[in-house]
């Protein structure tokens, strides 16, 4: 019965944090910058403080379901609920399955499920972002680093596979960004205009 919680976890993931915040500023975030309804694009359009708020809100969408699974003493369920929230964020039925790219929501779940590894990855993300000015490159570090860190920690194989599976979906959503990185056409995190 607890697996029925996947539906509300998905529904929570569909909450359009970036769209909602941009709307309060009379901006359609899907027609600005990269067009992605996420923290990086909000940072470029509205400034870093608004981008941070979106990142925190999107992170909570992953953290809350993961914490719920742990409270039920079911670690596999916690990972599944976090994954459902990530899928909801990326493919929201409320927005014709056109959502964000899942990094912040995945990060929220990871902080709950693997806090030490997540703290290390947060530092690596920040350093990479500052050095490259490319949020997508910093996100790639996290996508590769999370399952690698879980494996190094010698967590169960299923947990490594779960993290790798979710991050593979997130990676696929970033393919366009990575192609632009290779041609040096990727947008920086600096504010537009």
Question: What is the per-residue pLDDT for 5?
Answer: 93
Question: What is the per-residue pLDDT for 95?
Answer: 87
The pTM is what?
A: 0.87
Question: What is the per-residue pLDDT for 139?
Answer: 83
Question: What is the per-residue pLDDT for 61?
Answer: 97
Residues in the chain where the model's pLDDT stays below 70:
1, 177-193
Question: What is the per-residue pLDDT for 163?
Answer: 94
Residues near 188 by Cβ (< 8 Å), separated by ≥ 6?
44, 133, 134
The per-residue b/e assignment along 107-132, b for 16 or more CB within 10 angstroms, e otherwise, is: bbbbbbbbeebbeebeeebeebbeeb
Q: What tens digit of pLDDT does each residue of 10-35 get?
A: 999 999 999 999 999 899 998 888 88
Question: What is the per-residue pLDDT for 1?
Answer: 65
């Amino acid at each position: 019965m607890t697996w029925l919680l996947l539906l509300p976890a998905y529904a929570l993931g569909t909450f359009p944090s970036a769209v909602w915040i941009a709307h309060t500023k009379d901006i359609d975030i899907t027609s600005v910058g990269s067009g992605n309804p996420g923290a990086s694009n909000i940072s470029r359009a509205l400034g870093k403080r608004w981008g941070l708020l979106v990142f925190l809100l999107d992170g909570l969408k992953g953290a809350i379901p993961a914490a719920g699974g742990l409270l039920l003493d079911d670690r596999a369920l916690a990972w599944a609920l976090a994954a459902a929230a990530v899928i909801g964020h990326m493919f929201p039925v409320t927005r014709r399955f056109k959502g964000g790219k899942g990094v912040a929501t995945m990060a929220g779940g990871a902080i709950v499920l693997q806090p030490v590894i997540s703290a290390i990855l947060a530092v690596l993300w920040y350093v990479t972002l500052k050095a490259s000015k490319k949020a997508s490159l910093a996100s790639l570090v996290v996508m590769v680093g999370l399952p690698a860190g879980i494996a190094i920690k010698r967590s169960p194989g299923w947990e490594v596979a779960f993290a790798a599976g979710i991050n593979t979906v997130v990676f696929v959503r970033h393919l366009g960004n990575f192609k632009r990185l290779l041609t040096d056409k990727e947008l920086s995190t600096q504010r537009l205009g």
